[in-house]
A and B are shown apart, each in its own frame.
Chain A
Amino acid sequence: MIVEARGVGFAYPPSRPRRASPFRLADLTFGVAPGEILGVIGPNSAGKTTLIRLLTRVLEPAAGEILLEGRPLGRLDRAEVARRVAVVPQGLPPQFPFSVEELVLMGRFPHAPARYFEDAADRRIARGAMEATGVAELAALPLDGLGGGERQRAVLARALAQEPRLLVLDEPTAHLDLRHQAEAAALLRRLNRERGVSILLVSHDLNLAGEVCDRLLLLAAGRPVRIGPPEDVLDAALLEAVYGCEVHVDKSAASRRPVVQVVWPDARRR
């Protein structure tokens, strides 16, 4: 396993989130195998973002343990973690005038934190990462001038420059139009195939997850509900129980993968 969670539990300190019932994560056990694409799905506040923070040591689990390539995550320093796990966050901060190449080179930091300037090897690896996601021609352009799809690919190149074993993607297709969504999904599969990088994909988009992932992990209210191949997890009765709305599950004509559709509450009246 690249990464393995064993009975992981976590709760935010009571004062921080101002909600009625404080969020908790409990009994989380799963693993990502080498070369696998695992999708993490679930309703809002199911624990998806918290899971990313736990896997990258931004937060420490209160119970259980997380192993990274067999070693306890808590005993690795930040740079060691960053050489193995790279995160593609949802968005870049606004006001970000660094160029695409400068951003991608930041991904080289964990490989030599003491080095002040990146060396020729760093530049070569960054160049390769930019070529892999198709942003090599944009290298000199400032990020705040790019479109959403290009930005996303620049951030993905930054993550690839970390040369991780595991790529963690947080809502990779949010804010992308249909064409860019399709391109992003194809790109992820290609990177997975060609570079052998394992992927943990966190998304609200059940169809993207069903299409791209080998297995899905369904979370609800901080607990794992089911883990398995998309056909098992994207089950109408299960999803209706977890999401609390009526859904209809079909098979895609193109890929034979499950396709989930919401049945709008007033649809039958029309």
Chain B
Amino acid sequence: MTLSIRLPRIAAAALAGGALAVAGVAFQALTRNPLAEPSVLGVSGGAAFGVVIGQSLGLGLGLLGAAGLTALAFAGAVVAAAAVYLIAGAGRLSVQTLLLAGVIVGLFFASAITLVISVVDVNRLGGVIYWLLGNLGTLPPASLGLFALCAAAGLWLVLARARELNLLALGEEAAQQLGVDAERLKLRIFAGAALLTASVVAFAGPIGFVGLIVPHALRMLLGPDNRRLVPAAFVGGAIFLLAADTVARSIVAPAELSVGVITAFCGAPFFVWLLRTRYRALL
């Protein structure tokens, strides 16, 4: 009885955590930047803007509405990532410029979301504030199925090219000289990472920092080989977000915290710690 209520939420948490962690690995490999992650890069913000637009048009979490929200989130994620890429100056992405560009794009879309919320009838955007913090409510089974499908597609896009992703770490030119079609690889990984981010944002809200915490912890354990890292990140991200959701539900019971609050409380200090210790030399 409790299980049948709990199960969809558990599934949603596992999917969201796994998808975000894999998106983190993908963005880190793509930008060759260890601090890249959907929320840090502003990509989650772009996806969230897409979802808010959808919600203001009356799209809900039924199957059709959810599909529309996911598509809008994907469009938003692509626009945000393209903006970051252009601001940071295409060619060589240094750690600093990439992070700055991500912050700028994230702030821009946060303001755009605030604008939409202030303009649109509040009743229409009922749960928007709650959702914006990242919230694993109960999804209808059909929507949950769509979420699983998007996450699986995104995971496959990244996982099947994990060996090439390793070569990309040598630099784009070196990867090409080893036989990798770098342009196609980047496009495919980008599509996968954007799809993973967009589906999580559409179904659970912009939950931050999972893509940073989980890949780094696993890299310390397993090393940098993406062929092991990507599947491990999916499993590890699922477990991490399940745990975070459990804390979110119980820490202020009978009230409930948004799971995004928990991940941000873990992730922000973790980000600072990474910056001050491991990646000091990069800044």
Contact = CB atoms under 8 A, between A and B. Distances in A.
Most buried by A among B179, B180, B223, B279: B179
A126 to B, nearest CB: 14
Chain B interface size, as a band, is: 20 to 34
Nearest to B171: A93
A92 interface: yes
A109 B169 CA distance: 14
Interface in B155-199: 162-164, 166-167, 169-171, 173-174, 176-181
Given A95-B282, A109-B167, A79 B179 contact: yes
A106 B177 contact: no
Given A106-B166, A109-B167, A94 B180 contact: no
B227 A117 contact: yes
Contacts of B171: 89, 93
A149 to B, nearest CB: 19
A58 B177 CA distance: 7
Contact of B224 (A57, A82, A98, A162): A98
B178 A107 contact: yes
Interface residues of A, number: 33
Contacts of A94: 281-282
Interface string A96-123: 1111001000110110010111000000
A95 B33 CA distance: 9
Nearest to A56: B177
Given A99-B223, A110-B179, A116 B163 contact: yes
A81 interface: yes
B177 A82 contact: yes
A17 to B, nearest CB: 12
B178 A110 contact: yes
A89 to B, nearest CB: 6
B169 A93 contact: yes
A110 B32 CA distance: 22
A53 interface: yes
Contact of A56 (B176, B219, B225, B279): B176
Nearest to B173: A58
Contacts of A92: 170
Contacts of A107: 178
A83 B179 CA distance: 8
Interface of A: 53, 56-58, 77-83, 85-87, 89, 92-99, 102, 106-107, 109-110, 113, 115-117, 162
Given A89-B173, A109-B164, 12 more contacts: A53-B173, A78-B179, A79-B179, A81-B179, A92-B170, A93-B32, A95-B34, A98-B166, A99-B223, A102-B223, A102-B224, A117-B163
20 contacts: A57-B176, A58-B173, A58-B176, A77-B179, A82-B179, A85-B177, A87-B177, A89-B174, A97-B223, A99-B223, A106-B166, A106-B178, A109-B178, A110-B178, A110-B179, A113-B179, A116-B162, A116-B163, A117-B227, A162-B178
